[in-house]
Structure 1
Amino acid sequence: MSGDKVYEPVPKAPGATGLKRRFPILQKKRGKALVVGLAILPLFGLLGLLALRNRHDGSGNGGASGTEGDLITDDTFFYGQSEPVYPSPSMTGTGAWADAYEKAIKFVDQLTIHEKASLASGVTSSTGTTGTLNGCSGNIAAIDRMNFTGLCLTDAGQGVRATDFVSGFPSGIHVGASWNKALTRSRAESMGLEFRVKGANIALGPVVGPLGRVVRGGRNWEGFSVDPYLCGSLAAQTVQGIQSQGVITSTKHFIGNEQESYRNPTAGDVQSVSANIDDKTMHELYLWPFQDAVYAGTGNIMCSYNRVNNSYGCANSKTQNGLLKTELGFQGAVTSDWGALHTGFAASLAGMDMVMPNSDLWGNELVKAVKNGSISEDRLNDMATRIIASWYQMKQDEGFPEPGIGIAPDLTKPHQIVDARNTSSRKILLDGAIEGHVLLKNINSALPLKQPKMLSIFGYSARSPDQWNYQSNTGVGAWTFGGESAYMGRDTIAGFAGVVDSDFTQIAPNGTLFSGGGSGSVTPASVSAPFDALTQRAYDDGTALMWDFYSPEPDVAGDSDACLVIVNAFASEGFDRPGIRDDFTDGLIRHVADRSMGRSPEHHGAHIRSPTRRGVGPSPRIAPLLRREPLGQAPVHGSEKRVGLRTPAIPGPS
């Protein structure tokens, strides 16, 4: 072709064949041996690729073909389909479970098939012995003739949610930064007592999944750490602390639940995201904290929305029957996340024992499945036994409050007040809030504050939200799901189940964060923002205060001894964060730092955020850099000297 480069022919060596002319190395014996070896290596490589191509569940599309352009179109190519593990192991009553197991066996033996199925199937509103409705997240109906008053399951890992007269405890990741097992245990005991007083049989926590693989993950703040050892250690303390109050813990979300995006099936027949995990990584990272929780005696495990190696978490026999009930010897019950059941009796065969909050696929359908032989009555018996054994294990048959007695379904209407708070929790709330703070830098010992004559305070996260109020009984609301500070509307919250592409907020501009958003949020009876604590301290010390919570470029008093810029990064269930920084916050910090002559601490408010943006974190004008996660309701004013250590890594400059 015109314009093509012309390649000169290779000169022919005396006695050389065409192949030898192209590869002169073959003219030597050593060269021939080398080429034979090189030829064998690709052969073995090809055989290896063929083996990988066929390492799937027989679906026929696990690998690529020439006609497909050598594209890998199925992720089973890498880790294979989640292997089947059947039958579901029955509870054995080993160790500390022996007495509860024997009682549960006798209890279940007296039940009808319909009653056994009712124990495994959630109902939207429970009617206990008094016939009153409650506002629990989920319920198991009572069996009056057996003196079983039913079960109330309610959120979550930072305290009792969506009800009145409760405390807001520090978040999991904030307590994780304290590295303090004794504090974690005390926090759990106090939370457990409040769950009990409110009539919550099962507390839907602690969270050990997500572990934190995705830095922008919406629920990372609910767990303790990205380190499986620390996460598992504090999870064990939490399980033991809550259950010491007779409340069952539901350790969640099992397993590989590392992102919120596409966590549920979406329109257009798109299935939930699949967490594809090899065996080594599964055991050394994701399973580790669950193991610690199981060994600590957790009575319940919540299976997750996502798929694991292409099989839904709540219908995955490998993870539930294999890893959890066989390898770890889990004796309690497996409960679905809310709406995570996508099949019928197959999920029970795969190891799930209870569906929440309700499902047309279970209940009477389980009864039909037993009668037509789809599942054995032995399997249904085991499901019921595991549920009742946990009830006996926590001694909930002995004077436990009526399920949901203190959780009204509509707080805007007159209702019985059940105050779950205890004065002994105040020190724990404060200690937990203090010890999770992390001092990232502290030039010239700028913190703690030393009775400044004048203090200037800036930033949207310094104050309390404009609104902290109940919503009517709609099932969703900003207060109910921790969205007051972030202006989260009901449409956004209602979209938790399937929203994957929306303009979610990067920060919470309407005030400080007491928790993240979603089912893990808190609704404390009283709250105290940083500005509230600073105002009280200023009054005691005679400090003059100047503040501006709204301006992106505020004026800075020239005689301020220190300037505080208090900002945050918002995260919530239902969506992953759009990024790890935002221009508004960075600009505010830079503006104040440039005008404060190196006297400007920065106080981050919520989640993993890059403080090392050029001109922000590394700036010599910013003397101290203090970080906290959602710390609950307690007031902290900056004079405390105890600080924690970071559990997730801080991203580098961008």
Structure 2
Amino acid sequence: MARLCTLAVGSVTVLLARGVIAEAQITNDTFFYGQSPPVYPSPQIQGLGDWAAAYSQAQAFVAQLTIEEKTNLTGGYAEENGCSGNIYAIERLGFPGLCVTDAGNGVRGTDFVNGYASGIHVGAAWNKGLTYRRGVDMGGEFRAKGVNLQLGPVVGPLGRVAEGGRNWEGFSADPYLSGKLVAQHIRGVQSNGVGTCTKHYIGNEQETDRNPTTNSQNETVASLSSNIDDTTMHELYLWPFVDAVHAGTVAIMCSYNRINNSYACQNSKTLNGILKTELGFQGYVVSDWFAQHSGVASAEAGLDMVMPSGLAFWGPNLTEAVQNGSIPEARLNDMATRIMATWYYTNQNDGYPARGVGMPASLSAPHEVVNARNPSARPGLMQAAVEGHVLVKNVDNTLPLQKPRLLTVYGYDAVNPQFNTPTPGLSSWALGLTSTDVYSVLCGFSSALGPCTPFLGYAANGTIYTGGGSGATSPAYISAPLDAIQARAMQDGDTVVYWDTQNINATGAVEGATDACLVFINAEASEGVDRPALYDSYSDSLVINIANQCSNTIVTIHNAGIRLVDNWIDHPNVTAVIYAHLPGQDSGRALVSILYGDVSPSGKLPYTVARNESDYGAILSPVQTPEESEYSLFPQDAFSEGVYIDYRSFDAKNITPRYEFGYGLTYTTFSYSDISISKIPNPRNQSAYATGAIIPGGHADLFANVVTVSATITNIGSVGAAEIAQLYVGIPASGQPVRQLRGFEKVFLTPGGSQTVHFYLQRRDLSVWDAVAQNWRMVVGGHYSFSVGASSRDLPLTSTFTL
């Protein structure tokens, strides 16, 4: 086979049919759109950055292996334990194998672990330090259970499709916020020696058609192709993966979809060209479960490990392909070296717990108990649960409650789940219910409400604290809202009445003596299914019915994604509304601390809430290709909106949202003053383009601070609370959004207190992707705008600066 080489910046390798290398010069941004140019060979690990020692140790280890032993490192196998996947041990050299397991919100499918706040909840907290602490605590549990690799965190999907079924697993619809938080999560988890697997790489923005299917003609229908231009790829979807690689994530999971018509797990451009060359990724690429669709092609394209089994395409076939020269042995050596380097990089060769020691194959059978919960994690669990709540309406200081004597509670989401009927995101799902069971499960519990419509968007069987599928959690307990409210009432000597919502009608259900009516609804989501809508009439009718009868109606929404409220938000009797997201096991306790004013809410929306579904435009719903279409066997999704998703789209189209990105209320008021901007000299690089050695994440100087923006925040109210100050930048280049998030700081201020916050902007924060030069470029001489404030549309401080 032809020998391939890495070409210069500004060109890509193209392998012709006769095995001759040619250079295709990039002349515009759409060069990659709809096609995925081949980039070979797969770059070998070099020990860049802080990987040098691990690389040397891995090289020495792999040099002792047979071809069969190297092959065994690359493919999962079935074992009677609770790990999501396993890698064979090499006992003669003291390697115990690997246990990889779900997921980004905590250890799934086992006992004696905590149920952490989900990604969207952490994103709503906007707290870098708290995200790191969550990672540390979570990593301790994975380690105690003998898990080598956490299958998380999630930054793909980013949240392009408003109805996306897995948006709740990620942090935000903004790449900067997602990137900053994913880096903290990775550093926290890996501080315990547990590896992280950042997923899903890349363009996996919907669940519909994510995997191949068979149509009515018994023809194979390929996965959806996410067709993304080069600039959009770099400036939007790749952005948080850069932060993940720079933070040291040891694995990247390739996704189910195709990218520019090439499957993600055999896409040489995204794996060899971008991830392993441009970003200098030193870890290994692992497939999503059953996402491999070829043998030799996926190996050459940069896939290093297959899950859950290597036998479908690799296994003995991979060994034979190396022996007969179809795959260079150097490629197999690189796979094995990358996998072993992560073992040494995380120090798992030194006193690590036995593989899967706390992951029994069946929880119903007698098994050794490994209590992974550390008491030191309790404060962080609770704090994270509290900070992800976002107060969006609070008329005349309805909240916090002022010593209520009688509270009436309504709604299916108020109560603890009834485990005799499986419900998405609850215990039975967390312990292994697959996405293929979604429809039967939902119809099972929704039938009481009328004819079964799969996935109604709410869970009539109890409160939700996590989403469904592989990202769900397995908590030891659930603090439901009603339970926590009753406990507080018992403490204070008050009364709480809960009404069965099935029996509520328009003629009555509200006690005249009540101080407040607390209504609980939710918006569920799950892996494997995209949401049918951003609201549901059953829940909206419940809110309206109570509000029509109660002058002080407080609505709490546990939402696994965007939830619209315009059917009732302007009702004069709806006095307060909280987006409670997915708080984890301490859900009720966290909410009660906010309702009663023990703490002030401090979360802000990590996405945009529209007034109407149509405001999201073409990216409201997932793409579905009709069977009669010319693309019926190869579905296509044109990412033609480019970087204009969520608030960037609303700004570009001048659409007023109901609640903008970054919006959230507290129990006090803050003022902003004294913006200042200063340049940080960088004598090593005076060029507009990024230079310097490649380190994990890209050119080294991309991560150098170049500008500092400062502003003063003052609490001018009467309650101590935290404020999230946000910095937005307008980059003076064609095709750039009017503003994009480039900094945030969360500070707690007592009444009358002030603090100056500093935003440190890196070179990459002020750069645009130059598709022709294939490099990041700052706009020298252009007038950058800098705005600081409380949300993406509340920016009282604005200034300009020229680089």
Per the normalisation by structure 1, the TM-score is: 0.83
- Contact 2:198/2:249 (<8 A) preserved: yes
* Residues 4-44 of structure 1: CA deviation (Å, up to 9, x unaligned): xxxxxxxxxxxxxxxxxxxxxxxxxxxxxxxxxxxxxxxxx
- Asked whether the 8 Å contact 1:482–1:523 carries over to 2, the reply is no
**Residue number among 560, 569, 572 corresponding to 1:607 in the alignment:** 560
CA distance in 1, matches of 2:267, 2:31: 19
Counterpart code for 1:644: G
Would the alpha carbon gap of residues 204 and 428 (structure 1) be closer, same or farther in structure 2, given more than 3 Å must change?
same
Q: What's the CA shift string for 1:400-439, capped at 9, x where partnerless?
A: 1111110111100100000000111111111001000000
2:78 equivalent among 124, 134, 158: 124
- Distance in structure 1 (CA, Å) of the matches to 2:442 and 2:56: 48
Task: Please report how far the alpha carbon of residue 628 of structure 1 lies from its aligned counterpart in structure 2 after TM superposition.
Answer: 1.5
Aligned match for 2:569, one of 617, 625, 628: 617
What's the offset of the Cα at 1:185? 0.3
Q: What CA deviation, in whole Å up to 9, does each residue of 1:342-399 have, x standing for no partner?
A: 1112101000100000032111111011011110110000000000000000000111
Q: Which residue of structure 1 aligns with residue 347 of structure 2? A: 395
Say which of 258, 264, 273 aligns to 1:307.
258
3-state SS, counterpart of residue 399 of structure 1: coil
Indicate if the aligned counterparts of 2:562 and 2:607 stay in contact, CA closer than 8 A: no
What residue is the counterpart of 2:190 in the other structure?
A: 243
In 1, the alpha carbon distance for the partners of 2:102 and 2:563 equals 30
Which deviations, in whole Å up to 9, do the C-alpha atoms of 1:514-544 show, x marking residues without a partner? Answer: 2000000001111111111111101111111
Give the aligned partner of residue 44 of structure 2.
Answer: 90
1:349 and 2:309 correspond: no
**Cα pair 2:154 2:199 within 8 Å, conserved:** yes
Evaluate the alpha carbon distance shift between residue 468 and residue 176 of structure 1 in structure 2; reply closer, same or farther with a 3 A threshold: farther
Partner residue of 2:384?
A: 432
Q: Structure 1 residue 647 and structure 2 residue 606: aligned? A: yes
Whole-angstrom distance in 2 between the partners of 1:252 and 1:289: 10
Q: 2:584 aligns with which of 626, 629, 632?
A: 632
Secondary structure (helix, strand or coil) at the match of 1:339 reads coil
Runs of 4+ in 1 over 4 A off after TM superposition: 56-59, 468-471, 481-484, 486-493
Q: 1:242 to 1:536 in 2, by over 3 A?
A: same
Which secondary structure state, in structure 2, belongs to the residue aligned with residue 346 of structure 1?
helix
Deviation at 1:505, TM superposition (A): 3.3
Q: Tell me the distance in 1 between the aligned counterparts of 2:412 and 2:308.
A: 37
Choose the corresponding residue for 1:229, options 176, 183, 186: 176
| CA drift at 1:235 | 0.2
What do the CA deviations read for 1:170-202 (whole angstroms, capped 9, x no partner)? 011101111100000000000000000001100
Q: Provide closer, same or farther for how the CA distance between residues 479 and 301 of structure 1 changes in structure 2, counting only shifts above 3 A.
A: closer
| 1:219-298 correspondence runs (5 A) | 219-268=166-215, 269-298=220-249
1:526 is matched with which residue? 477
User: Quick one: distance in 1 between partners of 2:162 and 2:16?
Assistant: 35
Take 1:513 and 1:490, find their aligned partners in 2: how far apart are those partners? 15
Structure that is richer in strand per residue: 2
Counterpart mapping for 1:123-522 below 5 A: 123-125=77-79, 133-268=80-215, 269-359=220-310, 360-467=312-419, 478-481=429-432, 489=440, 503-522=454-473
Give the whole-Å Cα distance in 2 for the aligned partners of 1:220 and 1:174: 11
1:476-512 Cα distance to aligned partner (Å, 9 max, x none): 953425799x98756999xxxxxxxx82231111111
The equivalent of 1:544 in structure 2 is 495
Deviation at 1:468, TM superposition (A): 7.1
Measured after TM superposition, the shift of residue 95 of structure 1 is 1.4
CA distance in 2 between partners of 1:371 and 1:549 (Å):
68
- Taking the aligned partners of 1:342 and 1:492, their CA distance within structure 2 comes to 33
Partner in structure 2 of residue 108 of structure 1:
62
**Which amino acid in structure 2 is aligned with residue 613 of structure 1?**
D
Instruction: Give the whole-Å Cα distance in 1 for the aligned partners of 2:541 and 2:456.
Output: 17
Once residues 218 and 315 of structure 1 are traced to their aligned partners in structure 2, the CA distance between those partners, rounded to angstroms, is 25
Distance 1:57 1:216, change over 3 A: farther
Letter in 2 for 1:211: L
DSSP-derived class of the 2:221 partner = coil
The residue aligned with 2:760 is: none
- Point out where structure 2 has 5 or more consecutive residues left out of the alignment: 1-13, 18-29, 445-452, 614-803
CA contact (8 A) 1:468 1:479 kept: no
Q: Is the helix fraction higher in 1 or 2?
A: 1
Between stretches 529-538 and 548-557, larger displacement belongs to: 548-557
**Sequence identity percentage:** 51
2-structure distance, mates of 1:280, 1:491: 40
Q: How far does residue 618 in structure 1 lie from its aligned partner after superposition?
A: 1.9
- Structure 2 SS opposite 1:177: helix
1:525-572 Cα distance to aligned partner (Å, 9 max, x none): 111111111111011111111112432536011111011101100000
**Kept in 2: contact 1:247–1:394 (CA 8 A):** yes
Q: Are 2:501 and 1:579 equivalent residues in the alignment?
A: no
Computed over aligned residues only, the root mean square deviation of the Cα atoms, in angstroms, reads 2.4
TM-fit CA distance, 1:653: 3.5
| Contact residue 108 and residue 430 of structure 2 kept, 8 A | no
AA matched with 1:387: I
Instruction: Give the direction of change, closer, same or farther, for the CA distance of 1:247–1:346 in structure 2 (3 Å limit).
Output: same
Task: Output the amino acid matched with 2:184.
Answer: Q
- 8 Å contact 1:610–1:653 — kept in the other structure? no
Give the match's secondary structure for 1:461. helix
Give distance in 2, aligned partners of 1:569 and 1:610.
Answer: 7
TM-score, normalised to structure 2's length?
0.68
> Are 1:461 and 1:509, in contact at CA under 8 Å, matched by a contact in 2?
yes
Q: Would the aligned equivalents of 2:32 and 2:228 in 1 still touch at CA under 8 Å?
A: no
Question: Are the counterparts in 1 of residues 268 and 300 from structure 2 also a CA contact under 8 Å?
Answer: yes
Partners of 1:89 and 1:214 lie apart in 2 by: 33
**Is the 1:195–1:203 contact (alpha carbons within 8 Å) kept by the matching residues of 2?**
yes
Instruction: Tell me which amino acid in the other structure corresponds to 1:619.
Output: H
Instruction: Give the structure 2 partner of residue 45 of structure 1.
Output: none
**In structure 1, distance between residues paired with 2:258 and 2:438:** 31
Q: Distance in 1 between matches of 2:288 and 2:378?
A: 32
SS of residue matched to 2:468: coil
Q: Which runs of 5+ in 1 are unaligned?
A: 1-55, 60-75, 126-132, 494-501
Residue 11 of structure 1 corresponds to none
Q: Which amino acid aligns with 2:228?
A: I
Asked if 1 retains the 8 angstrom alpha-carbon contact of 2:201 and 2:254, the reply is yes
Residue pair 1:116, 1:384 contacting (<8 A) in 2 also: yes
Tell me the SS of whatever aligns to 2:501: coil
Contact kept, 8 Å, 1:117 with 1:363, in 2: the verdict is yes
SS in structure 2 at match of 1:649 = coil
Determine the structure 2 residue equivalent to 1:99.
53
Task: Name the residue aligned to 1:570.
Answer: 524
The amino acid that maps onto 1:436 is G
After superposition, the Cα gap between the structure-2 partners of 1:487 and 1:503, relative to the gap in structure 1 and judged at 3 Å, is closer
Matched residue SS, 2:414 = coil
Instruction: Evaluate the alpha carbon distance shift between residue 121 and residue 232 of structure 1 in structure 2; reply closer, same or farther with a 3 A threshold.
Output: same
